[in-house]
């Protein structure tokens, strides 16, 4: 079943305000967004607390950050088809504001606050929690969540008392504003060389580390 706003608003004006960007006039969604940010953090924190009964504070904090980051909330907004319902000023409409992650993420938070003000916390949690169910279930195990590939590779090698990987820039190509970096990741034990490409050297190193983790069966 697709993600949807199941809550039926008694006060439609709250939903309208939640979907109104500041470019469209005075009754916009920024105050609702402020309240919604706190509510989303609470709802997700409580759900993770129950979902991972043995995870420590660090893992729970990283997991919450993963689930409530701008791109994750924007993905929920797209599932809810909020972009088509946003009320934008002419400038934002022209520049494709309904597709922008920051505007979509803010709208999700504002809608959460609107549901809370319309019906209270219990109803808000019931309506909002399903939006985060699939992303929560897709999280890696608690000890891996929020850690990038380079960190995970380093920790895996350290755990086995193996030498740390060496990263080397093999080549860079493209125009100054759109370069592609090609990087290698070399392990001494077990002997392994993987490669990665990215729009920055760091991104390429992450890809190479990810490839090494896959080759080691350590993802």
Element (H, E) at 31: helix 30-51
Beta bridge partners of residue 169, listed in sequence order: 183
Distances (CA, A) of 171 to 71, 123, 158, 210: 30, 55, 29, 19
33 known ligand binder: yes
70 known ligand binder: no
Cβ-contact 49, 134 below 8 angstroms: no
Q: Which of 37, 66, 92, 118 is catalytic?
A: 37
Both tokens assigned to 25 = 């006039």
176 known ligand binder: no
For 180-183, the CB contacts below 8 A with 24+ separation are 183/207, 183/208
Beta bridge partners of residue 183, listed in sequence order: 169, 196
Distances (CA, A) of 51 to 16, 81, 128, 176: 33, 27, 16, 46
Supply φ then ψ for residue 43, to 5 degrees: -60, -45
Q: Is 109 a catalytic residue?
A: yes
Q: Which of 92, 109, 118, 205 is catalytic?
A: 109
Distances (CA, A) of 29 to 37, 43, 104, 107, 181: 12, 20, 12, 7, 41
CA–CA separation, 144 vs 142, rounded Å? 5
Q: Could you tell me which residues are annotated as the binding site?
A: 33, 106, 109
Active site residues: 37, 109
Q: Could you tell me which residues are annotated as the binding site for Mg(2+)?
A: 33, 106, 109
């Amino acid at each position: 079943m697709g993600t949807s706003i199941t809550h039926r608003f008694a006060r439609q004006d709250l939903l309208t305000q939640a979907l109104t960007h500041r470019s469209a006039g005075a009754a916009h969604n920024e105050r609702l967004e402020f309240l919604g940010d706190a509510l989303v953090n609470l709802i997700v924190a409580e759900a993770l607390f129950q979902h991972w009964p043995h995870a420590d504070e660090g893992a729970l904090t990283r997991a919450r950050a993963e689930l409530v980051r701008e791109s994750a909330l924007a993905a929920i907004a797209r599932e809810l088809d909020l972009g088509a319902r946003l009320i934008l000023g002419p400038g934002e409409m022209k520049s494709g504001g309904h597709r922008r992650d920051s505007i979509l993420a803010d709208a999700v938070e504002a809608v959460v606050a609107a549901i809370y003000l319309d019906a209270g916390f219990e109803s808000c949690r019931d309506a909002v929690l399903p939006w985060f169910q699939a992303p929560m279930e897709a999280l890696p195990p608690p000890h891996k969540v929020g850690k990038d590939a380079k960190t995970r590779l380093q920790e895996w090698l350290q755990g086995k008392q193996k030498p740390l990987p060496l990263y080397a820039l093999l080549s860079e190509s493209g125009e100054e504003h759109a370069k592609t970096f090609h990087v290698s990741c070399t392990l001494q034990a077990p002997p392994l060389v993987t490669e990665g490409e990215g729009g920055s050297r760091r991104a390429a190193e992450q890809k190479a580390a990810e490839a090494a983790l896959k080759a080691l069966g350590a993802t």
